[in-house]
């Protein structure tokens, strides 16, 4: 086997483990045409994801399977361009939503918040399957669930407003992540114990890249359930809560 063929075989093996653009070769002084076209298509998918919208009617219909009330919530960002230019507005619920939340205040262990973030596509494609995996775990553990909150134009920190307003001990927000050039459908999950206004990102735990080609949904559900149980046991979340769940398999 020639050195060039041997090196190519090594690169081909590495390609199986990443969607990154590695070893794409070249044509003259440029990359091959089909790779250039794939890059442009990926860039278009990323732009589309940023401006995508939650399929609210479909999601509301599909959420009925979990036998939990669903609250439709909006942030203070009125339209997409404002949401992108004013991140602060996406972190707070608007006045109408505040009234809805106050009317549903109770005593809950967990509130599940679903927000479009920077890729509603990720939520439209992955959220229902994820909830179908994780909600039975919560119910089996006898955790009291608040109404599910479906948020348009929401940022991660809006889970603090919602959790505090509903009087939930912990908020779990599922949100579309910033799309990259190899993943426009990546969903993230953020866990915050004792949510309240003014918390910073060091108060949260994040599980990222939840999608079929990334972190599989069933594995993400198990990891998040483990972290939430640990959060309740230790009464905290964020940098002080370490994810040592893999030690169960690789001690």
pTM: 0.84
177 is in an annotated binding site: yes
Residue 50 lies in a domain: no
Residue 6 lies in a domain: no
Residue 12 lies in a domain: no
Q: DSSP character for 75? A: B
Confidence (pLDDT) at 250: 40
Residue 5 lies in a domain: no
The phi-psi region of residue 190 (left if phi > 0; otherwise alpha if psi is between -120 and 50; otherwise beta) is: beta
Cβ neighbours for 88, distance < 8 A, ≥ 6 positions apart: none
Q: What is the CATH number of the domain that holds 86?
A: 3.40.50.11240
Residue 189 lies in a domain: yes
Q: DSSP character for 161? A: H
**Residue-range definition of the domain harbouring residue 231:** 56-248
Residue 150 lies in a domain: yes
Confidence (pLDDT) at 249: 45
134 is in an annotated binding site: no
62 is in an annotated binding site: no
Beta bridge partners of 206: 190
Confidence (pLDDT) at 224: 97
| Cα dihedral: 231, 237, 242, 246 (round 10) | 50
Domains of the chain: total? 1
Residue 104 lies in a domain: yes
Residue 25 lies in a domain: no
Confidence (pLDDT) at 29: 75
Burial of 35 (0-12, 13-18, 19+ CB in 10 A): middle
Confidence (pLDDT) at 27: 76
- No. of helices (H) and no. of strands (E), the chain: 8, 6
User: What are the pLDDT digits (tens) for 72-118?
Assistant: 999 999 999 999 999 999 999 999 999 999 999 999 999 999 999 99
User: What are the pLDDT digits (tens) for 179-205?
Assistant: 765 677 899 999 999 999 999 999 999
User: What are the pLDDT digits (tens) for 32-64?
Assistant: 777 766 656 655 656 656 667 899 999 999 999
């Amino acid at each position: 086997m020639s050195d060039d063929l041997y090196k190519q075989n090594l690169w081909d093996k590495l390609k199986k483990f990443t969607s990154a653009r590695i070893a794409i070769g070249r044509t003259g002084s440029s990359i091959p045409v089909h790779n250039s076209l794939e890059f442009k298509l990926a860039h278009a998918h990323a732009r589309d994801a940023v401006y995508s919208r939650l399929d609210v009617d479909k999601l509301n219909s599909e959420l009925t399977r979990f036998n939990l009330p669903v609250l439709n919530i909006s942030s203070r960002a009125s339209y997409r361009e404002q949401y992108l230019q004013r991140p602060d507005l996406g972190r707070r619920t608007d006045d109408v939503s505040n009234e809805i939340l106050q009317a549903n205040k109770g005593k809950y262990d967990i509130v599940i918040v679903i927000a479009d973030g920077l890729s509603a596509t990720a939520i439209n494609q992955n959220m229902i399957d994820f909830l179908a995996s994780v909600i039975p775990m919560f119910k089996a553990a006898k955790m009291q669930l608040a109404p599910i909150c479906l948020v348009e134009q929401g940022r991660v920190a809006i889970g603090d407003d919602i959790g505090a307003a509903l009087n939930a001990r912990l908020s779990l927000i599922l949100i579309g992540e910033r799309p990259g050039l190899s993943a426009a459908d990546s969903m993230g999950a953020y866990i915050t114990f004792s949510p309240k206004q003014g918390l910073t990102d060091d108060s949260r735990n994040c599980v990222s890249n939840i999608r079929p080609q990334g972190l599989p949904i069933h594995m993400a559900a198990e990891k998040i359930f483990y972290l939430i149980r640990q959060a309740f046991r230790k009464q905290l979340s964020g940098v002080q809560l370490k994810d040592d769940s893999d030690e169960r398999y690789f001690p």
